[in-house]
Amino acid sequence: MTAPERKNHSPLVNLAIDYGPVAAFFVAYRLFKPSGAASLSDVAAVTKSTGVFMAATVLALIASKWIRGKVSPMLWLSTVLVCGFGALTMISQDEGWIRHKPTAVYALFAVMLLIGWVKGRPTMKYLLESAFDGLSDEGWMKLSRNWGWFFLFLAALNEVFAYKGWFTFDQWLRAKLIVFMPLSFLFTFAHMPMLLRHGLGQEKHPDGEKAE
């Protein structure tokens, strides 16, 4: 029996599902890493925190299915990549895998979105499904194009911070919190005027016309 489709799109619920696993990783790393830890202890903290990250990501996927009644393709892909790179981190005891995981995620989504945009297909619409109710296909196309280029930028930026010769693991982790997350929020909210112009939140009549 599958979970019934639910219409609960509370912003707090969505934030918990989307960002809960990342928050769990931050908290776990701070708890597992002793003060003044040696590099070996740091690796142990990273691998333990990665296990928490993987478990939290799977729980978020289950929560999405239970609360939203479905799991978006984007969440499926993210979960697969988190578990794949997380397993490599834990097996190899090398923090580099978890550092480069975001690059793989960003690059994969960028390629999917930009190829879809070039071919005239709004890939973002299929990845997020009904996240933006009422948005026109033109709006989805613009969203796919813009996020595709933004994901490419984030992939390059993550590689800069992930390079061990320039930044420690702690510095890379702080960058995720004070650089990547604010940039993503700002980029998201910057799209609101465009999304509203292209029908976001507007109801449609059965014949497909938007309600006045």
Cβ atoms 123, 130 nearer than 8 A: no
Residues 14 and 106 reside in one and the same domain = no
Residues 194 and 100 reside in one and the same domain = yes
pLDDT value at residue 129: 60
- Work out the mean pLDDT of the chain and round it to a whole number: 80
pLDDT value at residue 12: 66
Share of the chain above pLDDT 90, in %: 19
In a domain, 211, yes or no: no
Last residue of a domain, one of 36, 70, 104: 70
pLDDT tier for residue 159 given thresholds of 50, 70 and 90: very high
The two structure tokens encoding residue 156? 């390059």
pLDDT value at residue 35: 66
210 three-state secondary structure: strand
In a domain, 88, yes or no: no
| Dist. CA 114–CA 185, nearest whole Å | 21
Residues 124 and 183 reside in one and the same domain = yes
Residues 123 and 187 reside in one and the same domain = yes
Q: Check residue 119 and report its DSSP letter.
A: T
In a domain, 79, yes or no: no
Residues 53 and 127 reside in one and the same domain = no
- Mean per-residue pLDDT for 4-27? 69
The two structure tokens encoding residue 136? 């026109």
Given a cut of 50, is residue 39 above it in pLDDT?
no
In a domain, 177, yes or no: yes
pLDDT value at residue 181: 86
Number of domains in the chain: 2
pLDDT value at residue 136: 82
Residues 142 and 192 reside in one and the same domain = yes
Residues 150 and 191 reside in one and the same domain = yes
Tell me which residue range forms the domain holding 132: 95-204
pLDDT value at residue 114: 94
Residues 110 and 185 reside in one and the same domain = yes
In a domain, 81, yes or no: no
Given a cut of 70, is residue 27 above it in pLDDT?
yes
pLDDT value at residue 1: 35
Residues 120 and 190 reside in one and the same domain = yes
pLDDT tens digits for range 79-125: 898 899 889 888 888 888 888 888 988 999 999 999 999 998 888 88
pTM for the predicted model, two decimal places:
0.75
The two structure tokens encoding residue 80? 């697969």
Residues 44 and 127 reside in one and the same domain = no
Burial class (CB in 10 A: 0-12, 13-18, 19+), 186: exposed
177 vs 71, 154, 174, 180, CA distance in Å? 25, 13, 5, 6
In a domain, 86, yes or no: no
pLDDT value at residue 8: 45
Residues 64 and 131 reside in one and the same domain = no
Q: Where is average pLDDT lowest: 54-58, 102-106, 123-127, 172-176?
A: 123-127
In a domain, 16, yes or no: yes
Residues 180 and 140 reside in one and the same domain = yes
Share of the chain above pLDDT 70, in %: 80
pLDDT value at residue 10: 57
In a domain, 165, yes or no: yes
Query: Is pLDDT larger for residue 192 or for residue 164?
Result: 192
Q: Check residue 130 and report its DSSP letter.
A: G
Given a cut of 50, is residue 2 above it in pLDDT?
no
